[in-house]
Amino acid sequence: MNLSPLALAFLLLSGPERAAVETARYRVEGIEPWRAVRPVEAPGYRVVLSSPDGRTLEATVEVDGAPLRDTAPYPVDPRTLPAEARALLAEPLDADDELEDLSRILLRGATTQLEAVERVVAWVSKRIRYESPSLLAETAASCHRSRRGSCVGRSLLAADLLRRGGIPVRQVTGILTARTPSELTDESQQHYSDTISGVRHRWIEVFVPGLGWVPSDPGGLANMLTARHLALPAAPPDGFGLTILARGPTLAWKVRDGSFARPRLRVVEAVDLPPGEPQR
């Protein structure tokens, strides 16, 4: 699923600019609720699990507005990656000249990984029209050629384009919460479920050296999520339920290249000059 432009604007721009953290608190229900939700500690996005009364499980999502240190260069040096990230890059991709060319065009001139992610998310969110999922399995190629896709197709396409550029990516399943169907796109509203207080959703995580796994939503959020995104370890099990207990003011984000992007902090490290080298 994805958010309509109106809902995105309300969601991301309605909060006070001085807000540093956006939070939402949910009650998780089910036979084994602690297995249905996973704690997350990612740059700018956290899911914290607790049981205030010892019986019920609560999940608190925290999103901060701090810029990410933009020091991981692109192209990626595989030697800077952990084994899990290198294993993802080693998985074969289907031969596809069109996707190879598109990835090369989008990433040409990018100097950091965060910038590369911004370029791909902006292209996918602008060029791939959202449509509801169907019984037909989606792939990166089918989404690219039809110029349509659900949150699954968009995430597969974004991941494919990044991986062809040597950037490790993995898929994340979760819930996009909403108090009412009106917070979703017209196409998504038909899938709204009171039981889970929203719709099932899909996004991606990119491994960035020095930061870890950085989440993005190819629906238009680069290197960031919102407190309405609740990550799960897998598809929701039978009996899974979610109730919105509280939701705070939303953070204000700026649009970059047609999508919302977390600010990047470029850090220039001092370098000792050789003896006799004039300083400029």
pLDDT at 16 over 70: no
Please choose, from the candidates 195, 203, 186, 175, the residue with its C-alpha nearest in 3D space to the C-alpha of residue 239. 195
pLDDT value, residue 134? 85
**Residues 76-134: tens digit of each pLDDT:** 999 999 999 999 999 999 999 999 999 999 999 999 999 999 999 999 999 999 999 88
Q: How confident is the model at residue 2 (pLDDT cuts 50, 70, 90)?
A: low
Describe the chain by its helix, strand, coil percentages, rounded to 5. 30, 30, 45
Is the entire prediction scored with pTM above 0.75? Answer: yes
C-beta of residue 140 within 8 angstroms of C-beta of residue 159: yes
pLDDT at 173 over 60: yes
pLDDT at 7 over 90: no
113 — phi, psi (to 5°)? Answer: -65, -40
**Cβ-based neighbours of 255, under 8 Å, separated by 6 or more:** 261
Fold for the domain defined by 5-67+95-262: C8orf32 fold (3.10.620)
pLDDT value, residue 266? 84
Strand, helix or coil for residue 260: strand
Mean pLDDT of the chain: 91
pLDDT at 8 over 80: no
pLDDT at 169 over 70: yes
pLDDT at 21 over 70: yes
pLDDT value, residue 9? 43
**Residues 222-273: tens digit of each pLDDT:** 999 999 999 999 999 999 999 999 999 999 998 988 899 999 998 654 444 4
pLDDT value, residue 267? 66
pLDDT value, residue 135? 83
